[in-house]
Amino acid sequence: MAKKPATTEPSPQPAKSTDSVPFCQALANHLTYSVGKDHYTATPRDWFFALAHTTRDQMTARWMETMRRYYEADAKRIYYMSMEFLIGRTLTNSLMNMGHYDECLKMAAEAGLDLEQARAMEPDAALGNGGLGRLAACFLDSMATLGLPSYGYGIRYEYGMFNQRIENGWQVEHPDSWLRYGNPWEFPRPEVLYPVKFYGRLVEYTSEAGSLRHHWVDTEDVMAMAYDTPIPGYGGKSVNNMRLWAAKSSRDFDLKYFNEGNYIKAVEDKNESENLSKVLYPDDTTAMGRELRLKQQYFFVSASLQDMLYRFNKFHKNFDELPDKVAMQLNDTHPSIAIPELMRILLDLNHLDWDRAWDIVTRTFSYTNHTLMPEALETWPVSLLEKTLPRHLQIIYEINHLFLNDVRHQNPGDTELLKRISIIDEDNGRRIRMAHLAIVGSHQVNGVAQIHTELMRQTIFADFDRFYPGKIINITNGITPRRWLNQANPGLAGLITEHIGDGWITHLDQLSKLNKFATDKAFQGKFLRVKQANKESLAKVIEEKLGIKINPASLFDVQIKRMHEYKRQLLNLFHVVTLYNRIRANPGENRVPRTVIFSGKAAPGYARAKLIIKLINDVADIVNHDPVIGDQLKVVYIPNYDVTTAAEIIPAADLSEQISTAGTEASGTGNMKLALNGALTIGTLDGANIEIRDEVGTDNIFIFGLNTAEVAEITSKGYNPWDYYHGNQELRQVLDMIGSGYFSPDEPERFRPVIDSLTAGGDQYLLLADYTDYIACQEKIDALYRNPAEWARKAILNVAGMGKFSSDRTIREYAENIWGVKSVLRPEV
Ligand SMILES: *Cc1c(COP(=O)(O)O)cnc(C)c1O
């Protein structure tokens, strides 16, 4: 982890400690009794483990108290169901949220302990791909801070997101064995164990009362074992639970083979069932139609529902109360098999009739959509469900049958509508459309930014919006200010607190009090000095890690996110090559020096995205070694983008690149993190960029390019990229250089396919159409950067305008508009 800049600003604001146990003594005890070392032999990792155990102890009592409080209040619980939780490191977060941070700093200083070194030993918990998983992690922080009775439910992957190395310019994936040294934050719960069934067959029988019943028999069972991780809210008042499931082989299953004397076979099969929670699928925008993925989904859904109902049944006998006591949020369609699963539990195991069960189910579930892109919308082959989850398939058929009856009733004769809206896609080899299932089975469906929700209503879910008016609502995403400002950027956090107090940490709206400092010369100076210090420390990290010397006075131009064609890292690179050509054509000209920073992973099977990584690195190689270019332009690819890397880069960014083709980025949250840390945004009118513009003011953001209406128009009219190729000489030069091997002399044809896809291939994401406006916009940014006071003014106004984008606001909207839950806070003591 980067050393934070040594500014004269006060340290960030940890919550006040509520505990009186001397931290120092507790730490010494853990080093001795939990780690088994003393001061002489302890390594930085030993110190990390001792610190983590000490911090966990501080959380545990409050955690137990919180659970009792929810139990005694018989509170309505929120279950946030997510295949991904991108948590990152936990130590600083827990210390700060529990109010022990200052104490710990002081103790470390006195004991001569290198806290940075110890902190850097913590692996980054990367149980997610990107935005969707990070959103879940921000939500856990906000739900705990707000005292909402909530649980995160997911999978304890043994291997999280792969580690990315850049070797010879190419992405190479390495396994992320984050549990290798053990995980000091989790509590294994070997007694919290549920069987999860797969395969088998159905037996129908008639009950004594004469109704048709179903048994699901001869199944292959896997056990789900719980691991609990405490999630502390800021201020330490509430500590919630994240419960992740690990697959264990079932004892019965083993026994069969053991009894046959086939010891090796039994152990082999044990491994096979434990493979279920082995690895996270590293694809963020394409649906992975693999059997193991479906089994992962059902595995964690089944275990979570059993667990939730166990808790419910302790207090309640009547399932009709379920929607008053439980809200289940589906983070994308990944857990949407929960809808037929709860139906199965109510029908087959508890013998409710269909209508009553369906009413309970639809009042319990709600679903968040994260994408409009067709390749990301999950569908499963009917044949796969038939084999793996036969009873669920039957139930889905019945749900669809009754749903289509209703649709038919309201729209007689419209057979095209029935085909479009059906849960079953009959045209592509019969597949289940999981988004349709999730919409039909939920009482509320939300998009993640205004424009995304509007597009949902107008395009992919227009039929549903007509059939269920008011079901589709918007709740714009947010980020937690604790991690993304208070912890990531102590310099800026301290400066803000010095001027407006620390209320912003839990009431981010209060940042608007900074508006009046935007033109204050003294404040501008301090603000710029904090940014400069952050840039210098990032420059140091880059030199240490990559051996590239960058100019800390240059404009830090940052694009950090998953590598994807729709996010248009290539467009950014075209700007880089344009600058390169301009400098070479006119070396003496006085310019704003730039450092263009990229970071992001590509899905391992996404060849085009991986080729673009190679292209960025090949361009970097030429640009960074060209003596004519010198300090005026540098290109840096920071490997292995994760939460830790994000927190290093973001505080140092001057410019935030949010340049997706309009209509493709549902919301984005990286855009929020960067603006909150005082970067100016260059972006398209896409996702939450639009709402950021509305909050910070049109004059304080750099918007360029086609909007969604123009994108729709240009594509419907027949877009011809060649017109743009021939219409702009600089663009043509850039494309020709890349296509003909200027940056890849060792293999001149290497990038030909990339360029061909933009010209002959039709340029799906309209890079050429947006190029000219993008370059012109970048020129305005250069001009502004020459005026530091004016730049500072706009950057301060950006920070001041970010109040809306706290995930606390997002979660309050979910609580009010979807879940119908209230805080259950501890009475003030
Ligand atoms: C915030 C975040 C993302 C999402 O970034 P976008 O720019 O919104 O795509 C992805 N990965 C990590 C590690 C993040 O912290």
Which atom of ligand 1 lies closest to the CA of 687? 8
The span from the CA of 556 to the CA of 572, in Å, is 13
Confidence class for position 239, pLDDT limits 50, 70, 90: very high
Q: Provide mean pLDDT across the span 429-435.
A: 97
Atom of ligand 1 at shortest range from CA of 647:
15
Does 3.30.1310.10 match the CATH number of domain 282-475? Answer: no
Q: For residue 807, which amino acid is it?
A: S
pLDDT tens, position by position, 291-337: 999 999 999 999 999 999 999 999 999 999 999 999 999 999 999 99
pLDDT of residue 23: 85
Q: 533-802 adopts what CATH topology? A: Rossmann fold (3.40.50)
- For residue 828, name the pLDDT band (cuts at 50, 70, 90): low
pLDDT in tens, 7-37: 334 455 555 544 556 888 899 999 999 999 9
- Evaluated on CA atoms 345, 350, 354, 360, the torsion sign reads negative
pLDDT over 70 (residue 54) = yes
Section 752-776 average pLDDT: 98
633 three-class SS: strand
pLDDT at 389: 98
Residues spanned by CATH 3.40.50.2000 within the chain?
282-475, 533-802
Mean pLDDT of 331-346: 98
Please tell me the distance from the alpha carbon of residue 597 to that of residue 39, in angstroms, as a whole number. 40
- Closest CA relative to residue 281, chosen from 110, 126, 452, 91: 126
3-state secondary structure of 658: strand
Q: What is the pLDDT, as a whole number, of residue 5?
A: 40
- Residue whose CA is at the smallest distance from ligand 1 atom 12: 130
Query: Is the C-beta atom of 128 inside 6 A of ligand 1?
Result: no
Widest Cα–Cα separation across the chain: 93
Q: Is the pLDDT of residue 126 over 60?
A: yes
Q: Give the mean model confidence (pLDDT) for residues 39-52.
A: 96
**What is the per-residue pLDDT across 495-525, written as a single tens digit (0 to 9) for each?**
999 999 999 999 999 999 999 999 999 999 9
658-672: pLDDT as tens digits: 999 999 999 999 999
Ligand 1 pocket residue status of 134, Cβ below 6 Å: yes
Percent of the chain whose pLDDT exceeds 90: 90
Whether the per-residue pLDDT at 157 is higher than 60: the answer is yes
Reported as a single tens digit per residue, the pLDDT across 384-398 is 999 999 999 999 999
The per-residue pLDDT for 816 is 98
CA 186 to CA 582: how far, in whole Å?
54
Q: In whole angstroms, give the CA distance from residue 541 to residue 292.
A: 39
Determine the distance separating the centroid of ligand 1 and the alpha carbon of 512, expressed in angstroms. Answer: 25
Question: Where residue 827 falls among pLDDT bands split at 50, 70, 90?
Answer: confident
Q: Whose CA is nearest to atom 15 of ligand 1?
A: 643
What pLDDT is attached to residue 608? 98
pTM comes to 0.96
What rounded mean pLDDT belongs to the chain?
A: 95
Give, for ligand 1, the residue of 86, 87, 370, 558 to mutate: max count of ligand atoms closer than 8 Å to Cβ.
86
CA distances 567 to 39, 107, 571, Å, are 49, 45, 9
Asked if 463 contacts 421 with a C-beta cutoff of 8 angstroms, the reply is: yes
130 touches ligand 1 (CB under 6 Å): yes
pLDDT score, position 3: 37
- Model pLDDT, residue 13: 58
For residue 285, what pLDDT is reported? Answer: 82
| Ligand 1 pocket check for 668: Cβ under 6 Å | yes
Q: Which of 241-250, 254-263, 384-393, 817-826 has the lowest mean pLDDT?
A: 254-263
Q: What is the pLDDT of residues 68-82, one digit of tens each?
A: 999 999 999 999 999
**CA–CA separation, 358 vs 111, rounded Å?**
61
Tell me the CA end-to-end span of the chain in Å, nearest whole number.
37
**Average pLDDT estimate for 37-64:** 95
Closest C-alpha to ligand 1, atom 8: 668
pLDDT for the residue numbered 7: 39
Cα separations in angstroms, 410 against 385, 398, 416, 418, 458: 30, 19, 14, 11, 20
pLDDT at position 639 over 70: yes
Residue predicted with more confidence, 628 or 112: 628
Pick the residue whose CA is nearest to atom 1 on ligand 1.
670
- Looking at residues 745-752, what average pLDDT do you find? 98
Provide the pLDDT confidence category of residue 251 given band limits of 50, 70 and 90: low
Beta carbon of 670 within 6 Å of any ligand 1 atom: yes
CB atoms within 10 A of CB 405: 11
